[in-house]
């Protein structure tokens, strides 16, 4: 039993503040479990009737009481099994001052200590919804994704998953894989009767078709990434070409100190850049100017810059449009030869339109790279930088309308499932009969089913549950 195991016990009643921290119009204190009504009744007095007499989805005004506190409030009752957790749930809505909410929760927990009410842990309400069959694991994970969504596209896709979109997709894939597994295993029993239930070529075609469906969904899906998986673009170049000014201008925040003194940046600075309406932000990194380091701090900065270069998804060399350093461009390309490149010819405001156009064209011809004139002072070219970044990272706003959203675990599981199905298809194709290699074929199909099951929760795994629900805040 791991540290996550105790909250798998749903026999206790849990309570928590379920609204975000900070002042608001109202705060919500939520309780779920066998003693939810008793716990709420300890601190809430209805204006009429009792909480126990209320029907599901009912609400009543009244008074919320705690030591030294009596305020108007409202109670909402959701009866099992027609509630989010499929247990009795009571929500107390009070004025949204954080201290008031904390006092009410503390009073509720203290007054209801005997019946066994305890504070909820992060994600425990949604965990109970999953454990009681109210939602599958993909929908449970989507609740956290909805909360964490940073763009409209992410929010729409995560909301679709919360409503069961990804779960239904996985269920259809599991149904097809289960049928293929059954026919594969049945071929063993009928081998001695010379009865072929499914020809190897047909089995291979169906397996590869299923793998293709999964891969297409992977290619079209939006990413809801962990912080470590956010796409990274680096601004790299000689000292004093305007990298820090571009970082501040593109991110909309004063993340970097801007100075005419060369070498002001001594570390890798980073800030998120929103790509309007698209499925994710980009982490834009400003590297220390690449020059011969003169001291131990300079050497450390240079090492950090080179690590960032090797790990980036997009390379944005920055040059002074009036004095571009072609040797530095070649050096940067050698550091990260496979990354897409867009040269930002900065300080375009120092040249007139005609000279600017000629300088950019000459730089593009000499370097063989795409060049975009920019100015952190006037904002010239910055909108185009965002648009080009989206293209280089293969992000498209129009994908969001019909796409599901996948976090890193879900992507990995689908990749493994598709790979297992393709291995089985490659194995089945050349066979004379399926029975010749049925055991190995069945093993690969079972592996694919297991990977799909980790997304829907059909394959139980406490460690996986812990990783998913540790992302939640308390009260959700």
pLDDT digits (tens, 9 = 90+) for 347-375: 999 988 889 999 999 999 998 899 999 99
Q: Where in the chain is the domain with CATH 1.20.120.430?
A: 140-222+405-457
Judge whether 344 and 374 are in contact, CB under 8 Å.
yes
> What is the DSSP secondary-structure string of 199-240?
-HHHHHHHHHHHHHHHHHHHHHPEE---GGGS-EEEEEESTT
The dihedral formed by the CA atoms of 126, 170, 218 and 128, expressed in degrees to the nearest 10: 10
Q: Where in the chain is the domain with CATH 3.40.50.300?
A: 232-392
* Per-residue model confidence (pLDDT) at position 440: 92
Would you state the pLDDT for residue 258? 40
CA separation for the pair 455, 396 (Å, rounded): 25
* Region 376-404 average pLDDT: 72
pLDDT tens by residue, 83-130: 989 999 999 999 888 888 899 998 898 876 555 788 888 788 888 888
Q: pLDDT class for 190, splitting at 50, 70, 90?
A: low
**So what's the pLDDT on residue 344?**
92
CATH assignment, 5-136: 3.30.1360.120
pLDDT number for residue 287:
78
Backbone angles phi, psi at 151, to 5 degrees: -135, 165
- On the CB side of 97, how many CA atoms lie within 13 Å of its CA? 8
Give the integer Cα–Cα distance in Å for 69 and 75: 17
Report yes or no on whether pTM surpasses 0.85. no
- Give CA torsion, residues 107, 112, 118, 120, to 10 deg: -60
Residue ranges of the chain assigned to CATH 3.30.1360.120: 5-136
Most confident of 102-116, 204-218, 271-285, 308-322: 204-218
User: What CATH fold (topology level) applies to the domain 232-392?
Assistant: Rossmann fold (3.40.50)
More confident residue, 297 or 105: 105
Distance CA 240, CA 229 (A): 30
pLDDT digits (tens, 9 = 90+) for 200-238: 999 999 999 999 999 988 877 766 554 445 678 888 888
Contact 77, 90 (CB under 8 A): yes
**Confidence check: pLDDT of 41 > 80:** yes
According to the model, what pLDDT value does residue 157 have? 65
CATH tag for 140-222+405-457 (out of 1.10.150.120, 3.40.50.300, 1.20.120.430, 2.30.130.10): 1.20.120.430
């Amino acid at each position: 039993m791991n540290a996550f195991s105790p909250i798998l016990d749903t026999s206790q009643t849990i309570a928590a503040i379920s609204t975000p921290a900070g002042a608001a119009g109202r705060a919500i204190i939520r309780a779920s479990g066998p003693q939810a009504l008793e716990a709420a009744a300890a601190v809430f007095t209805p204006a009429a009737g009792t909480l126990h007499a209320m029907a599901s989805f009912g609400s009543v005004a009244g008074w919320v009481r705690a030591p030294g506190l009596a305020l108007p409030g409202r109670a909402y009752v959701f009866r099992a099994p027609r509630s989010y957790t499929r247990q009795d749930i009571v929500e107390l809505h009070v004025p949204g001052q954080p201290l008031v909410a904390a006092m009410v929760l503390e009073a509720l927990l203290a007054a209801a200590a005997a019946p066994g009410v305890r504070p909820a842990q992060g994600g425990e309400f949604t965990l109970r919804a999953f454990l009681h069959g109210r939602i599958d694991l993909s929908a449970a994970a989507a609740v956290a994704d909805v909360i964490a969504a940073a763009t409209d596209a992410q929010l729409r896709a995560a909301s679709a998953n919360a409503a069961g979109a990804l779960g239904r997709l996985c269920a259809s894939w599991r149904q097809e894989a289960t049928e293929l597994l059954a026919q594969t295993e049945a071929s063993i029993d009928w081998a001695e009767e010379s009865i072929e239930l499914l020809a190897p070529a047909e089995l291979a075609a169906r397996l590869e078709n299923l793998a293709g469906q999964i891969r297409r969904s992977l290619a079209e899906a939006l990413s809801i990434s962990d912080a470590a998986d956010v796409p990274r673009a680096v601004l790299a170049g000689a000292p004093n070409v305007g990298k820090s000014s571009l970082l501040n201008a593109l991110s909309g925040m004063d993340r970097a100190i801007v100075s005419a003194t060369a070498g002001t940046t001594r570390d890798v600075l980073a800030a998120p850049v929103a790509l309007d309406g698209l499925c994710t932000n980009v982490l834009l990194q400003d590297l220390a100017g690449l020059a011969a380091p003169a001291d131990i701090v300079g050497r450390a900065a240079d090492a950090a810059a080179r690590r960032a270069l090797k790990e980036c998804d997009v390379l944005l060399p920055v040059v002074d449009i009036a004095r571009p350093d072609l040797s530095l461009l070649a050096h940067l390309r050698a550091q990260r030869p496979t990354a897409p490149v867009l040269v930002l010819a900065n300080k375009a405001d120092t040249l007139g339109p005609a000279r600017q156009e000629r300088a950019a064209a000459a730089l593009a011809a000499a370097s063989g790279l795409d060049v975009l004139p920019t100015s952190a002072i006037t904002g010239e070219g910055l909108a185009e930088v965002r648009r080009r970044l989206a293209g280089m990272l293969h992000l498209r706003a129009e994908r969001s309308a019909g796409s599901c959203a996948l976090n890193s675990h879900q992507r990995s599981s689908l990749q493994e499932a598709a790979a297992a199905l393709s291995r089985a298809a490659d194995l089945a194709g050349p066979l004379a009969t399926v029975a010749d290699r049925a055991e190995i074929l069945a093993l690969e199909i079972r592996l694919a089913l297991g990977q799909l099951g980790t997304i829907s929760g059909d394959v139980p795994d406490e460690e996986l549950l812990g990783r998913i629900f540790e992302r939640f805040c308390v009260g959700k």
